[in-house]
Amino acid sequence: MKRIEATLLAHDLKFAIVSTRWNHLIVDRLVEGAELAFVQHGGNTDHLDHYLAPGSYEVPLIARKLAESGRYDAVVCLGAVIKGDTDHYDFVAGGAASGILNTSLHTGVPIAFGVLTTDTVEQALNRAGIKAGNKGGEAVLAMIETVNVLRQLAASNP
């Protein structure tokens, strides 16, 4: 069996980050983690653009426009949807998740789902770097690897 495995090097990659203004205390930490991971894996901050969306529900449209632009190897979507006392959480979290997935499948550009969906602010903060690692950084790593695997796939199937 031939195993195809990608590197985690971002030397020649160009990424866009789409993050939300909503829950900025949490999301700002995700963005910091994403930028740090990109740089630690050889990426140049000049090849990392950051776009702000009002909230997680608006992220998929911005991500789609960025993916369709042809300027980026991947788009990293970051946000935080925290459960409240109403059904609003279900609609926003579900809409963001399906919109981001559909964007990636439609455009063929890797799109990371780095939108936290938690029951509490404490859970979100933990996933933004306090206890459970930084999910923004993890989203960037997933995109570096995905882009590099896709490049290998393209090279082996001209």
Q: Residues 41, 47, 50, 88: which is the catalytic one?
A: 88
Name the helix (H) or strand (E) containing 113: strand 111-118
Joined together, the tokens standing for residue 104 give 């990636």
What is the DSSP secondary-structure string of 39-89? HHTT--GGGEEEEEESSGGGHHHHHHHHHHTT--SEEEEEEEEE--SSTHH
88 is catalytic: yes
CA distance 109 to 24: 26
Give 113's contacts (C-beta < 8 A, 6+ positions apart): 77, 96, 97, 100, 101, 139
Catalytic residues: 88
